[in-house]
Structure 1
Amino acid sequence: MFSTLIVARMDLASAGDVAGLFREFDTTELPHRMGTRRRQLFHYRGLYFHLQDFDEDNGGERIEDAKTDDRFVRISQDLKPFIEAYDPKTWRSPADAMAHRFYDWNAR
């Protein structure tokens, strides 16, 4: 399994709105098209964490392919009032908000 973690800023009062947007989005086939197997959203002291799990290490490529889908464009726009870049000076795309894994352990 492969995971990505996006880090941004979010006011806790927006958690219900953000969850609702993803709840609606996740009922479409688009997450499956992107290879998403699980999505978890977290909030901690003004920070937003968006964890996605994929079966394969090509989730980024599949997400890039889906970016032109109207539903992807719509959720990206709908999230803007609630989610802001962690560092607005350096943010150009979600890739700029990806945390980088530096350790991984599994009980096999």
Structure 2
Amino acid sequence: MHSNLIVARMDPHSSADVAQLFGAFDETDMPHRMGTRRRQLFSFRGLYFHVQDFDDDNGGELIEEAKTDPRFIRISEDLKPFIQPYDPATWRSPADAMAKRFYSWESA
């Protein structure tokens, strides 16, 4: 399994709105199209954490392909009032908000 972690800023009071947007999005075929196996959203003191799990490391390629889908474009626009880049000065795309894994362990 492969995971991505996106870090951004979010007002904690927006969590219900963000969850509702992703709930509707995840009821479509988009997660399957992007290779998403599981999505988890977390908030902590004004920070937003978006964990997306994939069966393999092709998730990034599939997401790139899905970016032109109107549903992907719509959720990206719908999230803008709630999710702000962690560092607006350096943010150009979601890849700029991707945390880098530096350790991993799994039980046998």
What TM-score, normalized by structure 1, do the two folds share? Answer: 1.00
In structure 1, how many angstroms separate the alpha carbons of the residues matched to 2:69 and 2:56?
21
* C-alpha RMSD of the superposition: 0.3
What are the ranges of 5 or more consecutive residues in structure 1 without an aligned counterpart?
none
Query: Which of structure 1's runs of 4+ aligned residues deviate more than 6 A?
Result: none
Corresponding residue SS for 1:48:
strand
Deviation at 1:90, TM superposition (A): 0.1
Partner of 1:44: 44
The residue identity in structure 2 corresponding to 1:81 is P
- Counterpart position of 1:73: 73
- How far does residue 48 in structure 1 lie from its aligned partner after superposition? 0.1
Paired position in structure 2 for 1:106: 106
TM-score (normalised: structure 2): 1.00
Deviation at 1:4, TM superposition (A): 0.1
Equivalent position of 2:60 in the other structure: 60
Q: Partners of 1:105 and 1:37 in 2: how far apart?
A: 19
SS in 1 for 2:52: strand
Q: Give the length in aligned residue pairs.
A: 108
Cα-to-partner distance string for 1:39-96 (whole Å, 9 max, x where unaligned): 0000000000000000010100000000000000000000000000000000000000
C-alpha separation between the residues in 2 aligned to 1:79 and 1:36? 19
Identity among equivalent positions (%) equals: 73
Aligned residue type for 1:59: G
Task: Measure, in 2, the Cα distance between the counterparts of 1:105 and 1:13.
Answer: 33
Report the 3-state secondary structure (helix = DSSP H, G, I; strand = E; otherwise coil) of the residue aligned with 1:99: coil
- What is the identity, as a one-letter code, of the residue corresponding to 2:99? A
1:6 equivalent in structure 2: 6
Q: 1:7-31 deviations in whole A, cap 9, x for unaligned?
A: 0000011000000000000000011
